[in-house]
Structure 1
Amino acid sequence: MIDLNSPILKIGSTIGMLVMALAVIFIRMKASNRPVTIKKIIIPPLGMTTGFLMFVEPQVRIPILWGILAFLVGWFIFSYPLIRGTKFEKVDGQIFIQRSRSFVYILLGLLTVRLLLHGYIEEHISIPQTAALFFLLAYGMITHWRLSMYRQYHQITRPEPMV
């Protein structure tokens, strides 16, 4: 049986998280060269919903209050810099995300805070429970950010009134 609190598992999970986070930053930077569509806004949070299947495994389960708090921290705190740093622009009838130097710094800052929190929380609960908390935090963050993008997309694509 695998020791869920072994140092190798902790180091491996941290490295895995870093690789995934850096991949997301790279993908987000490349995505700013392509037009935004409603489908591209909606798919990430929908795709993430499959992650809720992790809670089928008893080792991953956490108290409901912890889950709600993690989701709310993602929704209200971690999503805020992403929402503020995401602006759309219309170019030749297509919608693009404006390139922003601050966006990379926002993502790196969020990654740093997440790593610091991850290390602290991992000392008090198991790695699978830590993963559950950070999944809920990320889900709250991404869902709020994408809903904000959706609203902003609709505002910019709304037909201008005839004068």
Structure 2
Amino acid sequence: MPTVTDTYIENRVRVQPNDTNNYASAHGGNVVKWMDEVGAMSAMRLAGETCVTARIDGLDFERPIPQGDTCVIESYAYAAGRTSVRVRLRAFREEPRTGEREQTTTSQFVFVAVDEDMHPTTIPSLDVETERDRRLRDEALDAEA
């Protein structure tokens, strides 16, 4: 059975001029797209199947990501249903020369595993084995509350 840590993915995107809004910071729609793509990868690591976005539970933009900075997306599955996977997502702005990082965006997405005909399909349970698994899961559950 996959563990929470098995589903952990961190991805980076350098914010280029084409990614920005009128204020020279990452366009919110691009940040959501990047989060959705990485979140689906975490869900697929658990499900072993293609996963599609079913719901976004809240999306908090706390601060901008300036052009030239790196957008870091952190994603992991923290709960699973019969066909669905709940994924915690956080975005950070990272200064590429120093690695200085600040959280910018938080959300929880729900993905559904689908078969070749795009019908929901069952997935394995999500195991919590290590202290890191417990900490990540508990952080995500606390963020839901």
Q: TM-score, normalised on structure 1?
A: 0.23
Q: TM-score, normalised on structure 2?
A: 0.25
Give the structure with the higher percent helix.
Answer: 1
Give the structure with the higher percent strand.
Answer: 2
Which of 1 and 2 has higher RCO (CA within 8 Å, sep 6+)? 1
Structure of larger gyration radius:
1
